[in-house]
Structure 1
Amino acid sequence: MTPTRSTLLALLVSLSLVLATVPAGVTAIQMTDTQTATDTLTVDRDGSADYRSIQAAVDAADSGDTVAVRPGVYYEQITVAENVTLVAPDRAILDGSRFVNGTALRVTGAAAPNVTGFTMRNYRLGVVANDTTGDWTLRDSTVIRASVGVYAPNASGNWTIADSAVSSTTYSGVFARATTGEWTIRDTRFVEVGGDGVDVRRSTGDWTVSDIVVDRSGADGVDASGTTGDWTVRNTTVRRSDTGVKAIASRGDWTVTDLTVQRSDTGLVTASTSGDWTVSDATVTTREIGVFTARTTGAWTIRNSTIDSRFQGIHAAGTNGSWTVSDSSITVSGNADAIGVDARDAAEGWSLDSVDIQSTGVDVAE
């Protein structure tokens, strides 16, 4: 039966009455239960965007929002306390030349921002995240002419630095002592830093350092002394520094792959460590000692590596764990006292397999 025009009219009136009784906001609440609406807030100093300053946009953003910064020079100090994405798609410059002891970007509390695409210059501190608990990320960014590039001591989050660079600092590139998170630094360069490339002394956690370059540091490439945790160092190059990797009194297991140390004093320095160490595919060219260990108790494996030093290739005197050196070459070109492998007073359990040693002497415990 085909409904009449009056019947259709009655149905429409009835439907409108039903909708009128639905409480206001129910539809919005139902959408919020399944998805979270996010906004993109734009920034441009010329007034053509939503905001003229980055900080104003960050303050207006809610968790999950994106603050997109257009190219330009911004004389600001930014504080981020929300889980926002702060991005400069076409690059933007933060300049601290108008501040005394300024900070380019400060992350606070449990905030976990994702920061991408910025150059930060002329600040005392580039990125500050000390005592934070969030999993923040710094990506595709540069810190230049600062005292410290990234300052994050006592942080407990699983933070990440990727595809970035730190250059011309007075002190360390990354200063992150006493951290407890499981952080990652990858695809990052540290050039002409006054202290360590990465200083994470007295920290705990399992960490990954991969595809980084430290060139002309005033101290060490990576200093992880006093740390407790398992470390992975992969495809890392250290040039013109005191030491490539230092881990005195560390307590975790270490895997070092594709480490290159050039024109430095020592390639790898450990003492009083208790973890197991595996070093493979390393190329170490140093002015003094290739690998220095002392009073270690863990098992050591060095394989497929090339060590070229002046005084000692491997110094392992007084070690207490088993050692295996295989498929490697060791060249020592110093004076008559130079030694390829020095393992005096070491515990039993030494093995040299397919190792080519070119030096004045080999002293290995039997």
Structure 2
Amino acid sequence: MDDARAAVIALLLSAVLTLAVVPASVAGTQTAQETLTVDKDGSADYRSIQAAVDAADSGDTVEVRPGTYYEEVRINENISLVAPDRAILDGSRFVNGTGVTVAGPAEPTVTGFTVRNYRFGVMANGTNGDWTVSNTTVIAADVGVYAPNSSGNWTIEDAAVASTTYSGVFARETSGDWTIRDTRFVAVGGDGADVRRSSGDWAVAAVVVDRSGADGVDASGTTGDWTVQNTEVRRSDTGVKAIDSDGDWTVTDLTVRRSDTGLVTAFSGGAWTLENATLETRDIGVFSARTTGAWTIQNTIIESRQQGIHAVKTNASWTVSESTVSVTAEQNAIGVDARSASEGWSLENVTIDSPDIKVAE
């Protein structure tokens, strides 16, 4: 054997021996992500969703084939639970059951399910992960999504909640910066979203609430900054309510129809901006009392029976511009009621229309 060939063989042997003694934790630290399939007829990896979820590792996908699954599913890992061709979770065999429970710090994505006949469609009580529920419908539950005391930046999107006993989303005392978008709440017994006494900064966008037993969004007692965009509330008590709140609010493209009041706030300290809104209400378009934040209303149409804007005993500047206020009651109709307001008012290019209108400033 010549010297050059011997040197090459020695080098190869050295490399092999080096790889042989490298710990597995160093040689390869990542586990390949897997897709675990579920079909109740036995043709997939698992017959039950929970069995597949229990076997999945963080980063894996559990893919559920069409069918009706009578299960309660609990997720403890950062997995994707998906039903590409739609699957049904049915809780009719449980007493006070929960369709999907997200636990602790888990950050799963749940997509493509119809969840029906549970006490809670999705429960994420006290979680601190950034979970997501998308393209999912919850029907005939006590509460659609139950997520009080959560601190994660969770997301509900492209979803629907219908025919609930109480609220569509119940998320009181949360502290995360969560988002609800592209979601419909129909025939919910309580609020579309009940998020009272919460402190995060939130966004509600492209949401429809139709026939709620209370309000579209109730954010009373909150301290976070809110953004509401392109949202419609029909046949409810109030479109947006924020009693005793301190955050700043930006509300754009809000439509409220066939409801008692469009927007309600009192004893609040944040600044409010309402623009490009249409409020067609039975009683009052905008109700504000004993507030200390500045107000801006612009490019807004208010059609109400009793009062267009009620702003009694407010303590900050108000600007109303490029807007129309119509009040239809034959007696005691007030377009803009700003009695006892302690700061300046500005009405710019505002049309106030009523058969017997009284503007108090």
TM-score (norm 1): 0.95
2:66 to 65, 71, 76: 71
Map 1:213-228; keep pairs closer than 5 Å: 213-228=208-223
RMSD, aligned α-carbons: 1.7
Contact 2:333 2:358 (8 Å CA) reproduced: no
Q: Which residue of 2 aligns with 1:91?
A: 86
1:362 counterpart = 2:329: no
2:245 to 242, 247, 250: 250
1-structure distance, mates of 2:313, 2:15: 86
Q: Which residue of 1 aligns with 2:27?
A: 30
2-structure distance, mates of 1:334, 1:352: 22
Q: Which residue of 2 aligns with 1:105?
A: 100
What's the CA shift for 1:38?
1.2
Deviation track 1:239-263 (CA, whole Å, cap 9, x = no partner) reads 0000000000000000000000000
2-structure distance, mates of 1:125, 1:349: 48
1:126 to 108, 121, 140: 121
Instruction: Specify the SS of the correspondent of 2:289.
Output: coil
Residue 362 of structure 1 aligns with an amino acid whose one-letter code is K
Deviation track 1:250-285 (CA, whole Å, cap 9, x = no partner) reads 000000000000000000000011000000000000
1:309 counterpart = 2:304: yes
1:184 counterpart = 2:179: yes
Q: Which residue of 2 aligns with 1:328?
A: 323
Q: How many residues align?
A: 360
Instruction: Specify the SS of the correspondent of 2:140.
Output: strand
Percent of counterpart pairs with the same letter? 68
Unaligned runs of 5+ in 1: none
What's the CA shift for 1:230?
0.4
Deviation track 1:66-96 (CA, whole Å, cap 9, x = no partner) reads 1111111111000001111111111111011
Q: Which residue of 2 aligns with 1:19?
A: 16
Residues 182 and 21 of structure 1: CA distance in aligned 2, closer, same or farther (over 3 Å)? closer
Moved more, 39-48 or 19-28: 19-28
Contact 1:260 1:283 (8 Å CA) reproduced: yes
Instruction: Specify the SS of the correspondent of 1:188.
Output: strand
Contact 1:344 1:363 (8 Å CA) reproduced: no
Deviation track 1:311-338 (CA, whole Å, cap 9, x = no partner) reads 0000001111100000000000012211
Q: Which residue of 2 aligns with 1:270?
A: 265
1:346 counterpart = 2:341: yes
Deviation track 1:128-180 (CA, whole Å, cap 9, x = no partner) reads 00101101000110000000000000001000000000000000000000001
Contact 2:327 2:357 (8 Å CA) reproduced: no
2:188 to 187, 193, 203: 193
Residue 350 of structure 1 aligns with an amino acid whose one-letter code is W
What's the CA shift for 1:7?
7.2
Unaligned runs of 5+ in 2: none
TM-score (norm 2): 0.96
Residues 316 and 10 of structure 1: CA distance in aligned 2, closer, same or farther (over 3 Å)? closer
